[in-house]
Amino acid sequence: MGSLEVSSSSPVAVNLYTPKSPFLAVLESKRRLGDRQSPHYCWHLVINVRGSELEGNCRPGQSLGILPHGRYADRALNGLNRNLDGKIRLYSIASPGCGDDGHGETVSLCVKRELGEDEVTGGLVLGVASNYLCDTVAGQSIPLTGPVGKSFLLPENPLEHDYVFVATGTGIAPFRGMLIELFQQGYAGEVWLVFGVPYSTDILYGDELARLAADHPNFHYVLAMSREQRNPRGGKMYVQDRLEENEGQLIDLLRRPTSALYLCGLKGMEYGIYAWLCRSGSDLIRVPPGRDWTSLHDKRRDDPEWGLVEKNRDRERLFKETY
Ligand code: NAP
């Protein structure tokens, strides 16, 4: 089996609700993620979708659209000079297909408050959808659209594959759902999660992930804490440094035709990971004859060579959702 495409026998639902006719879901519960001391405010939101078409139809790797309303869509108040009224924002589904409730009646999101300053005026800028979601309290409604996305899902017959999941920050969202889903189904393959955060206080779902790792020796959970740990060159410890550190095991695993590499989070990590794949001789990036991509990390982000690398990515086994 080479292709990891999603089975047509288990159709993936998309666009069940649109911006013109969203589903008015209700927030069931929320909890802060990470340590209270973290300057980042991240929340896990459990949203009730009972009785809607979303029930049982939301897979990890897909996203839901959020339609902020009220004061959050008001540009005078949110500090943004763009009018965002009526525009959706996408958030990755962080729960397994059966939801955190086990029956598909809820769907969960992982949301970090976006707080910033206007570069010119120095005024406070609040991310519209993230602050709207983080301020919502249990019992209040949230207009949802979607789900969207068919290209970042677990493959057909997920138990027959091995996985390397690489996340930075809130990019952990889909992997939380996928890991829970895999182990609920009795997964016995090999799965790695390499997770990058600035500090130990920023580890999202830390207890859950540690518990999964303790319960399943086939789950390898590796953290890269960029501002607390150093790589062998004395720089920040990034996910790509952890991949390199575990190269002996990972490259063997990624050589199996049934293995897949999933990347989710910051766009910047892609470059380091692609450079590592080329250096380590992985076939997930097909280096064209006569080309040497072993020193890719020296290339500027706007170098046309990166476009070629992207073109030579194995799209059936290397999936990404990076922003
Ligand atoms: P963050 O906290 O800013 O960063 C997470 C880690 O990535 C930090 O340790 C950071 O290190 C490191 N990092 C920065 N540049 C890197 C690079 N070039 N290579 C490797 N690691 C690097 O992350 P965040 O604010 O949560 O952002 C996560 C991203 O995921 C956002 O773009 C978000 O849109 C996206 N996302 C979110 C969701 C969701 O559902 N909420 C889902 C999918 C994706 P330093 O800061 O120390 O340099």
Q: Each residue of 157-193: pLDDT tens digit?
A: 999 999 999 999 999 999 999 999 999 999 999 999 9
Distance 20 CA to ligand 1 centre (A): 31
Can you tell me the distance from the alpha carbon of 294 to that of 257, in angstroms, rounded to the nearest whole number? 23
CA–CA distance, 97 with 239 (Å, rounded to integer): 27
Strands (E), the chain: 23-33, 42-48, 63-66, 89-92, 106-112, 115-117, 124-126, 141-148, 162-168, 191-197, 219-225, 259-265, 318-322
Count other Cβ atoms within 10 Å, centred on residue 158. Answer: 18
Q: In the chain, what percentage of residues exceed pLDDT 90?
A: 75
Among 77-86, 87-96, 115-124, the least confident range:
77-86
Mean pLDDT of the chain: 91
Cα gap 133→230, rounded to integer Å: 35
Position in ligand 1 atom list of the atom nearest CA 268: 18
Per-residue burial over 237-272, b = 16 or more CB atoms within 10 Å of its CB, e = otherwise = bbbbbbbbebbeebbebbeeebbbbbbbbbeebbbb
Q: Which protein residues are within 6 Å of ligand 1, measured from CB? A: 91-92, 110-112, 168-171, 173, 196-198, 226-227, 236, 238-240, 264-266, 268-269, 272, 321, 323
Nearest atom in ligand 1 to 323's CA: 32
| Sequence letter at residue 98 | C
Q: Going by CA atoms, what residue is nearest to atom 15 of ligand 1? A: 268
In tens, the pLDDT along 37-47 reads: 999 999 999 99
Complete edge-to-edge strand list for the sheet that includes strand 259-265: 219-225, 191-197, 162-168, 259-265, 318-322
Instruction: Identify which of 320, 312, 200 has the alpha carbon closest to the alpha carbon of residue 266.
Output: 320
2-22 pLDDT, tens per residue? 334 333 346 899 999 999 999
pLDDT interval class at 82 (50, 70, 90): low
Rounded-to-integer distance, Cα 18 and Cα 81, Å: 25
What's the half-sphere exposure (Cβ side, CA atoms, 13 Å) at 291? 15
Tell me phi and psi for residue 82, to 5 degrees: -110, 145
